[in-house]
Amino acid sequence: MYQIQLLRGIACLFVCLNHFKIFNKSGFGAGGVEIFFILSGYLTLKNYIKKGKKLEENYLLKKIITILPLYWLLTIFIYIVGNIKPSLFTTMQFEWKNLIYSLFLIPGKTMYVYPGWTLTYMFYFYIIFYLCDKIFKNKIAHIYCTIYFVIAFIVSHTIITDKLIQLYNSPMMLEFLLGFFLVYIEEKIKIRDELVYCIIPLLCILFFLPGFLFEYRYIIPAFLASCIILLCNKIKLDSDKNLFVQIGNISYVIYLIHPLIIRSIDKIIDNFRVHNLIITFLGILSSLLLVIVLSKLINDNIQKKIIGLYYKYNKR
């Protein structure tokens, strides 16, 4: 468990750094998304097998409670602020229809919370996996899920020309299936403990992959992310005192709020035309610190209470 949270923390920092102008223009850090997507597929199948090849009770409802309420609150907050002070968000149009698109994670439309585009794919994956489990009831939901996404990808990019369907069946959906594949690799191949030392160079390579490689992110970036996930389980961790583990514990909140803070500070530095590397580095450091502190506060005072309310009323 700690290894997974460690990986989430690192992936989360990758995504945060990617949104700083100095890194974003080269595409550095974009590989954090691959870790999240592949990890979602990997953990879904691991937990499915652990539960005797069936989904946990209220699987889909738990996903909704964990992910959507905070996302909705942040979306509505940005919508209200945007209507009061639209100059703060120069690239957004604050209309009712865009609010609906954003709240319901419709791809290809305005997302007031920028990371919402990735939540679209995650929920699409969770819903299809859930339906495969409920419809077929023969403990091979992952097989049917794989068949569905492969066929949907081929059909939507060869026969169907509807852009919305093509967006839903993006090649990125195949990364969740790659997570399934990692579970079987882990079972069949014994990974030597010494290979754990390859994680740091692999992380460095993934972080500094140039942007053009992410046009086909499901190839090289996904391969590197897969290797990192497999090796991560070899790390010996027996407590949550590790900084990256603690960041991983609040990674979802960080993931949602970081663009607001990072882009704002980036814009301030840019407006002052500061091109000094030391000032830029201090700006990055202070932004990340502010994101982490604010995320911790939101996680403890909002996110945990939302989840706590669900478990409280679900027990009745």
31 to 193, 202, 289: CA distances (angstroms): 24, 11, 21
Chain segment 305-314, per-residue pLDDT in tens: 999 988 888 7
Predicted confidence (pLDDT) per residue in 21-32, tens digit = 889 889 999 999
What are the residue ranges of helices labelled H in 137-240? 141-156, 163-168, 174-188, 199-207, 220-232
Give the span between the Cα atoms of 252 and 230, in whole angstroms.
22
Measured between alpha carbons, how far is 248 from 141 in angstroms, rounded to an integer? Answer: 28
Angle at which helices 174-188 and 32-50 cross, to 10°: 60
Residue 114 CA to its chain's centroid (Å)? 12
Whether 214 and 26 have beta carbons less than 8 Å apart is answered as no
Question: How do the domains of the chain map onto residue ranges?
Answer: 2-251
Q: Output the pTM of the full model.
A: 0.92
Beta carbons of 228 and 202 less than 8 angstroms apart: yes
Q: How far apart are CA 67 and CA 65, in angstroms?
A: 6
Q: Which residues contact 280 (CB under 8 A, 6 or more apart)?
A: 22, 269, 274
Give dist(CA 277, CA 307) in Å, integer. Answer: 42
One digit per residue, the tens of pLDDT, for the chain of length 316 reads 789 999 999 999 999 999 998 898 899 999 999 999 999 999 999 999 998 888 988 899 999 999 999 999 999 999 999 999 888 787 788 888 999 999 999 987 778 998 999 999 999 999 999 999 999 888 899 999 999 999 999 999 898 888 888 889 999 999 999 999 999 999 888 888 888 889 999 999 999 999 999 988 989 999 999 999 999 988 888 777 888 999 999 999 999 999 989 988 877 777 766 667 777 788 889 999 999 999 999 999 999 999 998 888 876 5
CA angle 69/71/73 to nearest 5° reads 70
